[in-house]
Amino acid sequence: LRGSSVELLEDALITLRNVTVEPESDIHLFQDGAVAPLVAHMLSDDPAIRKAALGCVRNLSANSRSKAHVLRENGLQPLVAFLASHDEEVQENAAVVFRNLSINAENDDKLVWEGGLPALVTILRGSSVELLEDALITLRNVTVEPESDIHLFQDGAVAPLVAHMLSDDPAIRKAALGCVRNLSANSRSKAHVLRENGLQPLVAFLASHDEEVQENAAVVFRNLSINAENDDKLVWEGGLPALVTILRGSSVE
């Protein structure tokens, strides 16, 4: 990896991409110092080299021991650029890395401050279901952080999040609802959710047969109701009948 012809380098990278599917292989890559050259090759001028290096990093990011190494070697810079690629396979691989990194809360600040949010929000506006789900789950994970919602407003994410709560795909609906649940915990966020007509899908979620969906929607209503100026909307847009139905038989939460 540290200096070879393009053909030899591509063969080595594709081999590493294939073997890093195995969960224990990343230990040997750390010991042999492979992560730094892999990140460097994600910045290569050769598209095939970039894609093969990204494939290795995608596999490594699935392992909790690997994530810190990718971040330590400044792997976010090329990954943010890949999210805007016109090659959907490249976009999807980068989105999977972001999703894997976002599982660890200690990584979320880096994902926010190094430019990941604008790229992820762009994906919300039109992408394949797989890419969209990865972006939504990453956003759901990072919106637990109290400062991330500011960037989401600035980047115009709330409108597409509300739209995705109306998706035909259950996984997309649930991931979008998770983002809105987190945003609703912040006083600065609530007005944005209401302004984008977020109550319509939330009322429907209260009647869902999926208890996790019901609970997330109920948490949003609880958070919105803390502000008295929201109460009229909660009443007039159908929230009360759905909440009363929950009283007749639901979990303690």
- Walk along the chain (253 residues) and give the pLDDT tens digit of each residue: 565 677 887 888 888 888 777 666 565 665 557 788 888 899 999 999 999 999 989 988 887 777 778 888 888 889 999 998 999 899 999 999 999 988 887 777 777 777 788 888 888 887 788 999 999 999 999 888 766 666 676 668 889 999 999 999 999 999 999 999 988 887 777 778 888 888 888 888 888 888 899 899 888 888 888 766 655 666 555 556 666 566 566 555 5
The CA distance from 119 to 52, in Å, is: 21
pTM above 0.85, yes or no: no
